[in-house]
A and B are shown apart, each in its own frame.
Chain A
């Protein structure tokens, strides 16, 4: 059990370090508001599908109406958010995470 307790104290030290707090802040400051944003955007679509059918039925181009375009925009936003997250993670999160991981692994081994 001694190694586990030793590990735990290492983890608490890392958790308190400013570098880790920076990583945590960068992760949460991006993913939490973005999660709220895409959920609101999705729920707006569902609510409009229930309550604003005349609006969804406005024809834009031939038979292609607002409802179809709105739905397709959900696909576009999903692809864009996924791509933006991977960029954010590679540039802003991975370098700090990798550095901290190497440091902790040196300490615990």
Chain B
């Protein structure tokens, strides 16, 4: 049996199991709290696993292992930003949000403000961030199938994107938060298990000697003139060729990664799925543990691929290195157990990679459709007059529409270099959402115009700067060098950095401050309420029993 057949069988088993879960969850989903927040009845450990399943995207798994395999140390910089970011969520956001919100990020922002403008801004930002992230994953799915299943025709890739999109729509429309959470839990267990297995085999091959693994990685895949550079920063981010702008770009990326997580809507709504703030804390602790261990595994996977597969072979498979982890699985399987072992491990990691994409896109679709229904439809269009039933119907319809839009955009963007969209989603979340959330929770004086200014200021400046950055348009590359800009043939860039965070994050905070002080609005009673509620849990939404 070939690895593509076996991979398909494993993947179909995952699909069958998750569809079963979705069917079960759909029968449990009756109220709005069930649909949006899984009845708030998940335990801290379950939600911790789901946080891992929601957060560890294909960009983390395949992307980081790939960057390490091709550029060495620099992939590690990404993992560290992604992990440390969780401390912001743990210390400042998770518990207070659980105590004072209901279904969406906007619930906390709109608490003491004029609801319509604030919910409109938060809804727009949620949908923009989620669509960017979603698009990156959908395009990744199309590229992955070519590499793993040998489907390379445009039609084959298109049908893969349609298939992934259809499954994601089914999970979200029928299973709601309950179904999506279980899909993410199953995926987290599979991903951790698969990554741990390959890591152990790789370490075992090197006699559990990390230094020997690093040495061979540098010798096989490092620059010929100076292999040691493979083990220090600087081959991908802030290279010597990029000069000062490259180094500042690195800081800019680092800021967006570390401050973005606590502003990502699909992460924030996970805090509502547990009964109390203490469970939210516990789930973030579990999440940090799982995500931290996972990034340690990807470190070994990346250097393992560099050592055993080699940069040349990986770059031939995929220029961005996304196939490094599957290729390593095949190689180490063959080394340890012969050709059959290679076939089985490749199939396993390939199936895990698809499960990873599915769980993440489902979380993103749920976050954006929830915000559309709860913030824009129920509170802005219907001014709070919609019934719970109507809201959930609209949420399901919008999940379908957003899913369809994501499929369409995914097909259109096929073959484009959209990897920057993940970093951009983090930058927007850090620039617009995070200032609004932190000011809402901690700044007495904060008001409607401040919240609106922070979100539109952060979101708008991050988008504008990226449009005029070298990511979107650049001078024609030197002969033989790959074209990296999104638009070919024209050059209208004037912002020197690829990552807008270093400008747009301070700007978002500044807009929030300026908007606040320019408006006289201030509601002392409502601030007292949100402060007391957020710190003590008085009046927090309760779990619904079944």
Which A residues are closer than 8 A to B by beta carbons?
A: 7-9, 11-12, 14-15, 20, 23-24, 27-28, 31, 34-35, 38-39, 42-43, 45-47, 49-51, 53, 56-57, 61-65, 67-68, 71, 74-75, 78-79, 81-83, 85-86, 89, 93-94, 97, 100-101, 104-105, 108
B91 touches A34 (CB 8 A): yes
A91 to B211, CA, bound (A): 41
Q: Provide the residues of chain A in CB contact with B115, threshold 8 Å.
A: none
Question: Known contacts being A50-B251, A53-B234, A67-B233, is A82 close to B90, with CB within 8 Å?
Answer: yes
In the complex formed, the residue of B with least CB distance to A41 is B84
B91 touches A7 (CB 8 A): no
A82 touches B231 (CB 8 A): no
Q: Which of A35, A56, A75 contacts B233 (CB 8 A)?
A: A56
0/1 string, B375-411, CB within 8 A of A gives 1: 0000000000000000000000000000000000000
In the assembled complex, B254 has its CB within 8 A of some CB on chain A: yes
Q: Provide the residues of chain B in CB contact with A12, threshold 8 Å.
A: 524-525, 528
Main secondary structure, interface of A, reads helix
Give the contacts of B515-546 with A (CB-CB under 8 A): 524-526, 528-529, 531-533, 535-539
B90 touches A46 (CB 8 A): no
Q: Which residue of B73, B214, B533 has the most chain A CB atoms within 10 A of its CB atom?
A: B73
B228 touches A57 (CB 8 A): yes
Chain B interface size, as a band, is 35 or more
Segment with Cβ contacts to A, from B7-15, B18-26, B281-289: B281-289
B292 touches A79 (CB 8 A): yes
In the assembled complex, B132 has its CB within 8 A of some CB on chain A: no
A81 touches B285 (CB 8 A): no
Question: Known contacts being A15-B528, A64-B211, is A97 close to B536, with CB within 8 Å?
Answer: yes
In the complex formed, the residue of A with least CB distance to B286 is A82
A62 touches B215 (CB 8 A): yes
In the complex formed, the residue of A with least CB distance to B288 is A82
Q: Which of A63, A79, A100, A104 contacts B215 (CB 8 A)?
A: A63
Question: Known contacts being A9-B525, A14-B532, A89-B281, is A53 close to B214, with CB within 8 Å?
Answer: no
Q: Provide the residues of chain A in CB contact with B232, threshold 8 Å.
A: 53, 56-57, 65, 67
A15 to B529, CA, bound (A): 8
In the complex formed, the residue of B with least CB distance to A56 is B232
Q: Provide the residues of chain B in CB contact with A78, threshold 8 Å.
A: 83-84, 86-87, 288, 292
Question: Known contacts being A42-B80, A78-B83, is A105 close to B538, with CB within 8 Å?
Answer: yes
B116 to chain A, nearest CB (A): 19
B75 to chain A, nearest CB (A): 11
A107 to B138, CA, bound (A): 52
Q: Provide the residues of chain B in CB contact with A8, threshold 8 Å.
A: 525-526, 528-529
In the complex formed, the residue of B with least CB distance to A37 is B87
A85 touches B91 (CB 8 A): yes
0/1 string, B61-104, CB within 8 A of A gives 1: 00000000000010011001101101110111001000000000
Q: Provide the residues of chain A in CB contact with B95, threshold 8 Å.
A: 89
A71 touches B80 (CB 8 A): yes
B251 touches A43 (CB 8 A): yes
Q: Provide the residues of chain A in CB contact with B169, threshold 8 Å.
A: none
A11 touches B528 (CB 8 A): yes
Give the contacts of B419-445 with A (CB-CB under 8 A): 442
A94 to B537, CA, bound (A): 10
In the assembled complex, B238 has its CB within 8 A of some CB on chain A: yes
Q: Which 8 A-B pairs have the closest CB atoms?
A: A62-B211, A49-B233, A63-B214, A46-B254, A50-B247, A8-B525, A15-B528, A57-B232
A49 to B199, CA, bound (A): 26
A16 to chain B, nearest CB (A): 8
Question: Known contacts being A35-B88, A79-B289, A82-B87, is A57 close to B251, with CB within 8 Å?
Answer: no
Question: Known contacts being A12-B524, A35-B91, A53-B232, is A46 close to B77, with CB within 8 Å?
Answer: yes
Q: Which of B92, B278, B292 contacts A75 (CB 8 A)?
A: B292
A8 to chain B, nearest CB (A): 4
Q: Provide the residues of chain A in CB contact with B168, threshold 8 Å.
A: none
Offer 9 A-B interface pairs, CB within 8 angstroms, sorted by A: A8-B528, A50-B250, A61-B211, A71-B80, A78-B292, A79-B289, A82-B87, A82-B90, A97-B535
